[in-house]
Amino acid sequence: MTIYILRRVFNYLILTAVASSLAYVLASIGLNPVWELQNRHPKPPQSSIDQLLDAWGVNPSVPLIQRVWTWFTNIFHGDLGLTVGNQPVTQQLLVRAGVSLQLLLIGSILGAVLGVVLGVWGAVRQYKLSDQVVTIVSYIVFATPVFVMGILFMIVATDLNNLLGIQLITFSGQYSANAPDGFWPQLGDRISHALLPTLVLMIAGAASYSRYQRNAMLDVLGADYIRTARSKGRTRGSALVRHGVRIALIPMSTFFAYSFGTLVAGSAMLEIVFSWHGMGELAIQSIQQNDINSVAGSTLFVAILILCSSTLSEILYAALDPRVRR
Amino acid sequence: MAMPEAGLLTQPDDAAAEPEEVGPVLSTKPASRGRVIWRRLQHSPRFWIGGVVIVFFVLWAVFGQFLTQWSPTDQDVNNMNYPPTILHWFGTDILGHDLFAQIVSGLQKSLIIGFIAGPASTLIAGVLGATAGYLGGASEKVIAWVIDLLLVLPSFFILILLYPFTKGSWVVMMIFLAVTGWMIMAQVIRNQTRSLREREFVKAARYMGFGTWSVVRRHIIPNVASLLIIDATLGIAAMILAETSLSFFGFGVQPPAVSLGTLLANGQSAATTRPWLFLFPAGTLILLLLAISLVGDALRDAIDPTSGVNRA
C-alpha cells in the first residue's frame, strides 16, 4: 500500500512542479511588470528599469527558459523572488497562508462532514419530506455562485444587525483593529468576522457533497451485504454505518480531491468579497499589478494545496478500500 | 442528482411511459431511443419548469430591449440611484443607467457565452476522451497526463492567468472558457470508451477495416452521446457561472460591455444600501442557472433511468 501511495504522490509532485512552472511562463509572457514605470511622465531612465527587472529576475532579455529554471530552482532555497514592492514573496505567502487556510480548512472540513451526514440522511429517508427539502436547497445552492451567496448573506446580516440594534455579525476584514484586549473578546471578534465566509463555504461544499453521498449511499443500501449484516443480527444503525457509510465513502474520497479545487477557488473569491487579506486577494491583486513573482507564488501555493488534498484522498481511499492495500 | 417530484414517486417514468410504448403494436417499427427519451422527458415536471424558464430568459434577452425606452448606455441624470419606479422598472445605478436595459444586455452576453462555450467544451471532451480511450497506448497516456496537469490548478486560477492574453475581448475569453472546462468529462468519456472498445460491434467494425476516425464517429460517439448531451446542458450553466465569476472580479467582460458578472460587480458596493442594484442581476443569474440544471438533470434521468430519481 505504501508503495502504491508513494508512486501516486510522486506523480502528483511532478504534475505540481510542471503546472507551477507553466503558470510562471504564462505570467511572464502575459504580464509586463514595468508597464507602470514605462508610462510615467517623465519616464525613468532605461537603466533603472533594467535594474529593477534584474532584481525581480524577470528581465525579458534573459531567455524565458532560463528565467523559469532560476525561479524553479530557487524554490528549493525557499526563495520565490521579490514582489513589485521589493518584498520577498515568501514572506507575503507566509503571512497570507494562515488567513487563507483558516477559512479554507474550517469551511471545507465542516462542509464535508455536513455533506456526508446530509447525504446519508437523505438516502435513508429517501423521498420523505426532509430528503426533498435538502434536495431543493442543494439545487438552489448549486445555482448560486459563492460570491453572490456571500453578498446575500451580508445583506441579511445587515438587516439582522439593524433589527437587533447591535453589531452581532461583522463582515469586513478578518478582525477589528479596536477589539478589546483579552483572549475571549479577541476570539469573539474573530468568530464574528469569520462566521459568514466560513458558513458560505461550508454550505457550498455541503451542497455538492450531499448529492454525491446520497447517490453513493443509495447504491449501497440495496446491496446484499447490508441484508447479510442485518440478518446476522446487526442493528439497522450499525449495519448502515459499518457496512453502508464506509463503502459509500470510497467513491467520495476521489470526489473530495476533484472538488477541492472548486472550494479553493470559492474561498479565494470569498476572501475578496469579505476583504480578507489572504492568498486569493494576493493572486488577483498581483495580476492587476503585473507582479510576475507574486502571481507565480500564489499559484504555487494553490498547486501545493491541491497536491496535499489529492495525497490525502489517496490515503483515505486506501484506508477505506482494502483491495487497494497490497 | 435528481429532485424527486411528488407525482413521480409512486410511479417511475418508465412505468408511466410504458402504456404508450406498448400501444402502437401494429407499427412494425420499434420506438426509437430518441422517442423513448422524449416521452420520458414529457413526463418530467423538472424538464418543463426548467425549459419554460430558460425559454423565458432567452425571449427576454432577445426582445427585452423593445420593452423599455432606455438603452443600456443611456444615462438618465435626473434619476440617478433611483429604486424601481414606473419609469425605471428595476431602478437606476449611480450613473443613471437603467438596470432593466442593462440586465437585458448582460443576459444576452452571458447566454451567448454559455450556449457557445458549454457545448464547445463538451465537443473537446468528447473528441479527446474518445480518441484517448479508443487508441490507448502513447496517445492515451499523453491526453491523460494533460488532463491531470490541467486539474492541478482550479480553472478559475488558470483563467485569471490567461486574462492578460484576452486583451479585454470577451470572445477570446469564451474560447479560453471552453479550453479549460473539458477535463473531468473527458475522463468519464475515456473510461466509457475503454470498455466500449472491447465490445463485439466495435471489434467487428475495426476488423472490417474501418479507420480510427470512422469507428470513433460511427460507433463510439453515438454510444457516449447521452453523456455528452447531459454534459453540454450542464456545461452551459457551468460556463455562465465561470463567466460571471471572472467578470465579477474584473477578469472577464470589460466595460463598456456588460454581462451579468459586471452588473453584480457594480451592485456589490451598494448591496446593503441600494439592494436592487445587486438583487435583480443576482436573481436573474440564480434562476437561469437553476433552470438549466433542472433541465440537465431531467435529461440525465430520461436518458439513464437507473440513475437519480428512479433508482431502487
pLDDT of chain A along its 326 residues, tens only? 688 888 888 989 999 999 999 999 999 888 888 777 777 778 888 888 888 888 888 888 888 888 889 888 888 888 888 888 888 888 888 989 888 999 999 999 999 999 999 999 998 888 889 888 998 999 999 899 999 999 999 888 888 888 888 777 777 777 777 777 777 888 888 888 888 999 999 999 999 899 889 888 888 888 888 888 889 888 888 888 888 888 888 888 888 888 888 899 999 999 999 988 988 889 888 888 888 899 999 999 999 999 999 888 888 888 888 776 65
Query: CA geometry: angle at A179 spanning A175 and A181, to 5°?
Result: 120
CA distance A256 to A234: 30
Chain A residue nearest residue B296, CA to CA: A139
C-alpha R_g of chain B: 23
CB-based contact (8 Å) between B186 and chain A?
Answer: no
Q: List beta partners, residue B92.
A: B98
**Who among A31, A154, A272 is closest to B249 (CB)?**
A272
| Alpha helices in chain B, H assignment, sequence order | 13-22, 33-42, 45-63, 99-135, 137-152, 155-166, 170-179, 183-197, 200-207, 212-215, 221-248, 260-268, 276-303
Contact B3 A272 (CB under 8 A): no
What is the rounded distance in angstroms from the CA atom of residue A28 to the CA atom of residue B278?
36
Question: Do residues B296 and B237 make contact, with C-beta atoms less than 8 angstroms apart?
Answer: yes
The number of beta carbons lying within 10 Å of the beta carbon of residue A87 is 12
Per-residue model confidence (pLDDT) at position A105: 92
- Residue B13 CA to residue B42 CA, distance in Å, equals 10
A151 closest CB neighbour out of B161, B271, B287: B271
Name the B residues in 143-172 with CB < 8 Å from any A CB: 148-149, 151-157, 160-165
Residue in this structure with the C-alpha cell 469586513, named with its chain if needed:
A172
Q: Does residue B225 sit at the A interface (CB-CB below 8 Å)? A: no
Predicted TM-score (pTM) of this structure = 0.86
- Is the omega angle on the peptide bond into residue B24 within 30 degrees of 0, that is, cis? no
Q: Residues of B numbered 99-138 whose beta carbons fall under 8 angstroms of chain A's beta carbons: which are they?
A: none
- The type of residue at A145 is P
ipTM of the complex: 0.87
The pLDDT assigned to A145 comes to 93
The Cα–Cα gap between A182 and A168 comes to 19
d(CA B299, CA B44): 9
Do A306 and B268 count as a contact with CB atoms less than 8 A apart? no
CA B264 → CA A276, B88, B89, distances in Å? Answer: 20, 18, 18
